[in-house]
Amino acid sequence: MYSYALLEKGCYYLIQEKEEAPVNLIKVNLETDNCMFVSKYAEATSLEWKRKSDPIFDILELLGDDKVKDWESMYNDNQGSYNYEEDEE
């Protein structure tokens, strides 16, 4: 079992918080003495505080810069596909 204390600020990780939970992509945005402020990317992006002692079942991977750029490109393309006008005349 791991904890958020192992994660580094500014890095993207693929993690599983619980054994049967889905894999999540997170980014550590800020670190304080006791907590981490993370972005969690799922169907919608959420920002949340986690205690450094909060458990993580598995840290699957630290994403390298090239993988982050590839993911950002796909993520940004998908975000733009939802911005459309329903009643164009």
Q: How far is CA 78 from CA 4, 13, 14, 54, 74, in A?
A: 29, 20, 19, 31, 6
pLDDT for 79: 63
pLDDT for 44: 82
pLDDT for 81: 53
pLDDT for 16: 96
Listing DSSP states for 27-53 in one string gives: EEEEE-SSEEEEEEESSSEEEEEEETT
pLDDT for 47: 96
Low-confidence residues of the chain: pLDDT under 70: 78-89
Identity of residue 34 = N
Q: Residue ranges per domain, the chain?
A: 2-80
* pTM metric for this prediction: 0.80
